[in-house]
Amino acid sequence: MNTLGPSQAHWRKSTHSGGDEGECVEVANLDGHIGVRDSKNPAAGHLTLSRQDFSVLLARLATQP
């Protein structure tokens, strides 16, 4: 099986990150999982979440002020 690693993934910045505010999150499809990383420091690593867990995270964040 050919798996897509974080270095080959197409990372895209969240549309909610804003312009030059400095608080940017990037996400990528990692062969059925979702990668989440800090765009200011991509070499620091990333979180890998199942699609279901990513959906739960987004729902939880949507309820925060």
pLDDT tens sequence for the chain (65 residues): 344 555 678 899 877 666 666 678 899 999 889 999 988 888 899 999 999 999 999 999 899 88
Enumerate the domain spans of the chain: 12-62
Residue 2 has what pLDDT? 42
* Residue partners of 18: CB distance under 8 A and separation at least 6: 24
Residue 50 has what pLDDT? 97
Pick from 45, 58, 65, 48: nearest CA to 15: 58
